[in-house]
Chains A and B, each alone.
Chain A
Amino acid sequence: MAEKTQKLNDVEADDNKKAADVMTEKPETKKNAISEEALAVAKKQAALSYQIRRARWSYGMMSPYFILFFFFTVLPVAMSIVLSFTYFNMLELPEWVGWKNYVKLFLDDDVFLISLKNTLLFAVVTGPVSYFLCLLFAWIINEFKGWLRSFLTLIFYAPSICGNAYLVWSLILTGDRYGYLNGLLLKYDVINEAILWMKTAKWIMPCLIVVQLWLSLGTGFLSFIAGLQTIDKSLYEAAALDGVKNRWQELWYVTLPAMKPQLMFGAVMQITQSFAVADISVQLAGNPSVNYAGATVVTHLLDYGNTRFEMGYASAVATVLFLLMVGTNKLVQRILRRVGE
């Protein structure tokens, strides 16, 4: 590994030297006229332009992706931030209002505060829990081989991919005696009368959290399974010789450090997912839900963006959500870098 980087560094040093040589040929004739600093800057520029020209293949190959990326990701984020300082209804031109949207958001909008609270609850509960479940299940599944592993992977992964099939939960959580959960609880006398799960404010969030957990073994989970498979088996042998005594030590000292890239990736997936909960709330609890008990930041955003067409205000909500997601991700990344150290 070290040799390889050394080689790469040498190649780069070569490039720089070549570029520098190109530059020094000319200035030699009028050496005195050019100050040392200007020469250094020119050298740097020449080296840079040489590198860019040399990498024209790289840029060419990347251009289709990054042009689209610019139009559909970078530009929208920038626009969203700018629009959040305006009043905009899609019909008239945006009108600059400064911080007004944000002031209204945090001081005047009770529903936003409820939805922010709910979103943070999702993030704090389903984020970490689903992350550890992903890791745990991937780790256990990795102990199996053959069709059984494929089967278990499928069972755990399937809920996250089957589109809006989570609507089946609405049958389980139906508020009358025909609901599966009510039927079960009534049968064993846990409750005396059917509970309106999705119409009672205090039950909405717990139910949504359970459904969200069911749905959340997604990409991160697959990434963990893939990561576990690529770990070199000889590492475990070596660790056993070094005194690793049980599977838990093995997990902490060998497995986790070896799959750090996957751990980081999984964290990003689970965090982003847990902040973006909306569809299940809209479909199961309705939008608006009873007392806004199931409102999340995203449902609030949809409410203002798609229903009321207050795009400036919706953009402010989107910007807050953006900052929340990115901030949390960055923080967690920083923590995860220390795994196994």
Chain B
Amino acid sequence: MSKQAKSVDAKPSNIIPSDAKIKFKKRRREKQLNRSIAGNTLLFALMIFCGVFMALPLVMIINNCLKPLDELFQYPPKLFVRNPTLENFTDLFVLMNDTWVPFSRYILNTIIITVGGMVGHVICASLAAYPLAKHKFPGKDILFSMVVLSMMFSWTVTQIPQYMIISWLGINNTYLALILPAWSFGMGLYLMKQFMEQLPDSLMESARLDGANELTIFWKIVMPNVKPAWLTLAIFQFQQMWANTGALFLRDEQLKPLQFSLQQITAGGAARAGAAAAVTFLIAAVPIIFFLICQRNVLETMTTSGMKD
């Protein structure tokens, strides 16, 4: 932890200019406008303090999954692992091979649900966001304000009727029960529209003059230009789908996602504390890695797509 703190302390003074130097030499002076040493110190100290608070549980998750059983039940509890071992993961694999349904089936289910939800959501939300951002038509404001309103309450509010509707549509106990509602999350559409509004109209106008129809414009011109937005949508959707155990809609064991079976493993109590620590690590690590990969893309595309008329 202290190593990290040190790097935060030492880096800012040289990291900011060195990066700026490569790309824009002029920016160097500009970046230091209105910055005092006292202010920097105060803010960075605050940052370190809060950073430690935020990171501590994550550090615990990583350390716990490497601890052998005796260290997990040690008194007084130690944060850092002494004799790191992968025994917890081997325990987990043994348990995985023991499940009623082959474990690969859970993984397949998760992939189907997650990818289905992500791809469908990005396509549906972008398709709807483009007209809302760039076209003029009657009813536009009402439709959009409905979507904004939908972000103002959480899905738990509509949980009961949603369950009934899914039963009526006959998609209960299928993948679709999880995938279809995910396609129409309000936040994705909202984010996408916000980003699309920044695109200059001239971009689409020239294609329109060339005789392209709206769908072509959307696919060939708009979508490549909003890459940061659709990556963001994909990340958020992934997080939603990943955390979903599907317990409410999926009854068949063969349809249940990974998250569900992992929870079953952790429900084993003290005897499975090791495997549970490994599960917690896996549950946390996958979305974090996914975000890490996409974060680079998002930041990259954000800086290069700085498009302003």
Residues of A within 8 A of B (CB): 4, 8, 11-12, 48, 51-52, 54-55, 57-59, 61-62, 64-66, 68-69, 71-77, 79-80, 83, 133, 136-137, 140-141, 143-146, 148-150, 152-159, 161-169, 171-172, 177-180, 183, 186-187, 214, 217, 219, 222-223, 226, 229-230, 232-233, 236-237, 240, 244-247, 249-250, 261, 265, 268-269, 271-273, 275-276, 278, 298, 301-302, 305, 311, 314-315, 318, 321-322, 325-326, 329-330
Contact = CB atoms under 8 A, between A and B. Distances in A.
B280 interface: yes
A62 B128 contact: yes
A233 B30 contact: yes
A292 B180 CA distance: 35
A312 B150 CA distance: 22
Interface of B: 7-8, 11-12, 15-16, 19-20, 27, 30, 33-36, 39-40, 43-44, 46-47, 50-51, 53-55, 57-58, 60-61, 64, 73, 75-77, 79, 124-125, 127-128, 130-132, 135-138, 140, 143, 146-154, 156-162, 164-165, 169, 180-181, 183-184, 186-187, 189-191, 194, 198, 201, 213-215, 218, 228, 232, 236, 239, 242-243, 259, 263, 266, 280, 283-285, 287-288, 291-292, 295-296, 298-299, 302-303, 306, 308-309
Given A65-B125, A219-B187, A318-B157, A55 B287 contact: no
A268 B151 contact: yes
Contacts of B296: 150
A233 B27 contact: yes
A148 B11 contact: yes
Contact of B243 (A11, A163, A226): A163
Given A68-B124, A68-B184, A163 B156 contact: no
Given A62-B132, A237-B33, A275-B154, A232 B308 contact: yes
Contact of A145 (B16, B76, B280): B16
Given A8-B136, A143-B16, A65 B156 contact: no
B302 A72 contact: no
Contact of B214 (A61, A222, A237, A271): A61
A272 B284 contact: no
B180 A72 contact: yes
Which 10 A/B pairs are nearest by Cβ-Cβ distance?
A55-B137, A162-B284, A58-B131, A76-B158, A65-B128, A276-B154, A165-B284, A76-B161, A79-B161, A68-B184
Contacts of B152: 268, 271-272, 325-326, 329-330
Contact of B283 (A72, A164, A179, A273): A164
A58 B303 contact: no
10 contacts: A51-B136, A62-B128, A65-B183, A66-B143, A75-B161, A158-B291, A166-B57, A167-B266, A171-B77, A326-B152
Given A65-B125, A65-B183, A52 B157 contact: no
Contacts of B73: 178
Given A72-B181, A273-B154, 14 more contacts: A64-B128, A72-B162, A77-B161, A148-B11, A155-B58, A165-B57, A165-B280, A226-B302, A240-B34, A244-B34, A268-B151, A272-B153, A298-B154, A302-B156
A141 B43 CA distance: 10
Given A165-B280, A240-B34, A171 B64 contact: yes
A156 B51 contact: yes
Given A165-B284, A230-B306, A236-B33, A325 B58 contact: no
B46 A163 contact: no
Contacts of B30: 233, 236-237
A148 B15 contact: yes
B268 to A, nearest CB: 14
A136 B42 CA distance: 12
B76 A154 contact: no
A187 B76 contact: yes
B158 A77 contact: yes
A55 B302 CA distance: 31
A322 B75 contact: no
A52 to B, nearest CB: 6
Contacts of B12: 143-144, 148
A231 B149 CA distance: 27
Nearest to A54: B137
A268 B154 CA distance: 11
A58 B243 contact: no
Contacts of B35: 143, 247
Contacts of A217: 54
A63 to B, nearest CB: 8
A65 B149 contact: no
A153 B295 contact: yes
A80 B157 CA distance: 8
Nearest to A179: B77
B58 A158 contact: yes
B284 A148 contact: no
A143 B42 CA distance: 13
Contacts of A229: 299, 302-303
B103 to A, nearest CB: 18
Contacts of B298: 226
A177 B76 contact: yes
B181 A140 contact: no
B158 A318 contact: yes
A154 B161 contact: no
B280 A167 contact: yes
Contacts of B124: 64-65, 68
Contacts of A302: 156
Contacts of A329: 152
Contacts of A55: 131, 135-138
